Amino acid sequence: MTIRVCRCDSDGTILSCNVEAIFLPVGLSTGALIAILLCIVILLVIVVLYVALRRQKKKDTLMTSKEDIRDNVIHYDDEGGGEEDTQAFDIGALRNPKVIEDNKIRRDIKPDSLCLPRQRPPVEDNTDIRDFINQRLQENDVDPTAPPYDSLATYAYEGNGSVADSLSSIDSLTTEADQDYDYLTDWGPRFKVLADMFGEEENYNPDKVT
């Protein structure tokens, strides 16, 4: 900043002038600094509020979309606990006490008292195989000591419609009435032992066999 200083007389006439350069400090007043800081703070607050509102709006849009998908699409991929999930329910609530017989043995739980296995009657030589299987199935179904306790042991009879049909004919071939070994006597002395063994019992004497 340049200032021109002049000397004048009483009438105002300029006598002499000098040019002086004066340097004034450049700065801001306290009021100006406070005003600038307030403006900066207000701008920062506005920016933060704008960003927060945009994020909140975007988050609400995503949540609404997920809820729409969840309400319209159902995932059926829950297969339960498998074989390990056998005690997570009360089987008694699924049973109707009016239908259950009093003397019927429960197969879904292990019996409290151990029962001795039943003495099975001896099977006759000429019993049909199908009757034999059915008899064993009935005995196994009512046997409280036969595991598993949550299911019945079911078997299928495969004799019907098969080429072999029934196996009872095998047992019928072993009866003495259907077997005739008298032809062994016609084969000569080499087959005499076999003829005596498979012939009449009264004709066979093991002491005479050499």
pLDDT digits (tens, 9 = 90+) for 154-206: 666 665 665 555 556 555 555 555 567 778 788 888 888 888 887 765 455 55
Q: What count of other Cβ atoms lies within 10 Å of the Cβ of residue 107? A: 19
Distance of alpha carbon 162 from alpha carbon 188, whole angstroms: 42
140 close to 105: Cβ distance less than 8 angstroms = no
137 close to 181: Cβ distance less than 8 angstroms = no
pTM greater than the 0.85 cutoff: no
Q: How far is CA 60 from CA 52, 66, 69, 71, in A?
A: 12, 10, 14, 17
Q: Given pLDDT bands bounded at 50, 70 and 90, which one contains residue 95?
A: low
